[in-house]
Structure 1
């Protein structure tokens, strides 16, 4: 099936079956490798003399031409030019990198997509170590501004983020609005001993950035002995302040808690064993459906240390994290790199996917059985990627409701794996956010929390840019719904403390939720007047989920108070 697309302006009134055997729900999860069929044929190749040549291969997902189909940017490694595969909407892609002006031959490290200037077009940040001639003298990072006309312009120099540094010093970037001023700030990582590249950049709102690593309190925390791989902006404890997870090698990962005043504090000790891992990849989700965010980190599994390897950090109610990977069966990821948390079989529980070095066994798909118990189903579900995977992204490239996967191979062919999910109980929902009417919110709702209720389950996802090792994935929130055909409600909690709730949402569609221009614009007509008051009262009297503004599942005086405050702008 193909997703239908619905645009919502404002408020409105069991397991896997495969070769291992079936379940009552009857989902059949099967992957097919379709790189040639889709036209995404890239052989990543990096000059062997380059530093860290064995660590890289990646790209980024984004709808770069705003046609409703996800496109794919791929870094070729330096021997060939980078590629920009524009989705044709028929299951195939065409490389348009030359026409768009980004067919650069360079030693690309990582790529991230985000609308950093808020003009409605997806831009690209590319970490580069310079020309891939085997002995580069330092690279300049790239910031490709999407001009909205089928071209990009590199403005990294004028934006102040080019950062000419050691050849292998710059590694990755992530975007998030840490100061809640409505534009996307940037965090960049570095790996070498000098580590000048572990920096926080504040977006000035005029296509320039300012290095605020010092004023933010991060200088002493992240620039000494932190071999940065993957940064991620997320309000991990959901206290209203954006935090940073910095995944780094040699036991140097950091959990950096936002203090609400533009500064950060080191809370790494609250995440069990995070500072012992050879951290390389990051995935964020709610694996046990308890309404708290968890995260998964790739590392190295040593056969003589049974509990070594990848980490699954499960959040406790007090904001600390228990490490459960060994007990949950997801620690044995080999020499791990890219990781994902995504519901592949639409049973309502997020699977974990992990790439690794070429070790004679395929990359891992860990089936979520519930109760923090997982099973490796890579072989029976057909996900047979044996090469050395690095970057890893999920996206629904064919708009058929399920999530497909791209594995970026080190010195090998990029692998596109189509999810051919079938059978009953495979309903899904994709939620995308539109904040264009309210410029005080970050583009595409970055930092927002999306919750929904379907049947007896409540689900949670965050819009965080999906940064991963060398790569970044689809920006929307994807939910598996099982047999549920109607979602009771979808609630978007915006970064400014307001929310939008949509009731009675049909499954198998792309739902775009638009933040109204003003929190009090209840009927979404871009006006603030008595009609909004009338609409809210009617929804409240009808006990519509759209009027449960505090999200407690009740309709009380507290909701009326919240709405009056929103209406008055208090």
Structure 2
């Protein structure tokens, strides 16, 4: 069966001899495109927020390994004037809410709009109409190294309709006290209101990633599992365990989409460290099943963020997950994880999946499975990356890929790690 295949390839190659491939026809942008975006001066836009990180003996990378992961941003029309407003979360600085005044001018209305006294380490933020009143509300995730639960309690700001908000997380049952990264609102049961999924992480100390479950029991910590909350109209109910979501991951990204085409919204979570990503498929009866092992051949190693969109216009959702591999060969070797084949296969045999240190672009095959085409697509190496976004940025009908990247210090430099063990 090998010879016919080879002959066919040879004939195809010969038939194209002397013909230059039409490379331009397969591109979504010209060779020398005009700039799509311009940077606005803070003095002009009015947006002066800066997520400044101050380090000392009490707060640093060794106390909290996610020290440099950054905050969050949510964009939405909070007052119904047709203009998108912006909410920024600060890790060690106060959050800021900017009202869009038009003509790219923004006004900081935080002091009058958002209740004060909500300090702590703020991470992700999401805007959604929680109570179906036609107004966007704001959900803020909190994390950090704090032992006090009140410093880690997530916040829910209900929109009063007059450019003010009321904090109601406790009353609505979503005052999660684990260390939350991000949240996604979606109608999981198709009953007309938005349910809530929150991704969480354990507090890891001295790179202790194994035996997390035992540590939780011995130290009687709050479980760091991701959480699923069902919207019951005037409050939420935690249905994590009964829905089959209970886990022990290091979630850094979450995306919602109907991944298996059964008409129900599913959940994809990209996980850091050894934990595999989760692909929770909605069974349509209030439960979910993680089928990442069955649906993918391999995944990224350090899942630093994810997004879902149809990147090749075949009407099927595809998945992008970013990792931390540099295009520069020397830098990639200096910052790469261990290459022990014995450890690799032990991880695989333990059920953590085949994980490789590259960005992945999981192409939907249309039969319930996905194939990684990240290297073929030319996006597998973007250094220490975060929050990928698939969107048509130039209005040509094709999804482009925006990847934010960077880290304040090279904490994974192997010489540095060896010296600080």
Q: What TM-score bracket applies, with the shorter chain setting the length?
A: 0.7 to 0.9
2:111 aligned counterpart, secondary structure: helix
Is 2:224 aligned against 1:196?
A: yes
Q: TM-score, normalised by structure 2?
A: 0.73
Structure 2 CA distance for partners of 1:47 and 1:203, relative to 1, 3 Å: farther
Residue of structure 1 in register with 2:282 after alignment: 258
Distance (Å, rounded) in 2 between the aligned partners of 1:162 and 1:330: 38
- Whether contact under 8 Å (2:184, 2:196) holds in the other structure is yes
Q: 2:306 aligns with which of 274, 282, 305?
A: 282
Distance (Å, rounded) in 2 between the aligned partners of 1:215 and 1:286: 31
Aligned positions of 1:30-429 closer than 5 A: 30-36=36-42, 37-48=44-55, 49=59, 51=64, 52-78=66-92, 80-102=93-115, 104-129=118-143, 137-138=148-149, 139-165=152-178, 169-192=179-202, 193=212, 194=216, 195-206=223-234, 208-219=235-246, 223-224=247-248, 226-250=249-273, 251-269=275-293, 270-274=295-299, 276-301=300-325, 303-304=332-333, 308-358=357-407
Q: CA deviation at 1:65?
A: 0.8
Which has the higher mean CA deviation after the structures are superposed, 135-144 or 236-245?
A: 135-144
1:326 aligned counterpart, secondary structure: coil
1:77 aligned counterpart, secondary structure: coil
1:32 aligned counterpart, secondary structure: coil
Q: TM-score, normalised by structure 1?
A: 0.55
Greater per-residue strand proportion: 1
Q: 2:32 aligns with which of 4, 10, 21?
A: 21
Unaligned runs of 5+ in 1: 1-13, 23-27, 361-570
Structural RMSD (CA): 2.3
- Whether contact under 8 Å (1:237, 1:292) holds in the other structure is no
Which has the higher mean CA deviation after the structures are superposed, 240-249 or 48-57?
A: 48-57
2:371 aligned counterpart, secondary structure: strand
Structure 2 CA distance for partners of 1:96 and 1:141, relative to 1, 3 Å: same
Between the two proteins, the alignment pairs up a number of residues equal to 328
Distance (Å, rounded) in 2 between the aligned partners of 1:136 and 1:85: 31
Structure 2 CA distance for partners of 1:180 and 1:267, relative to 1, 3 Å: same
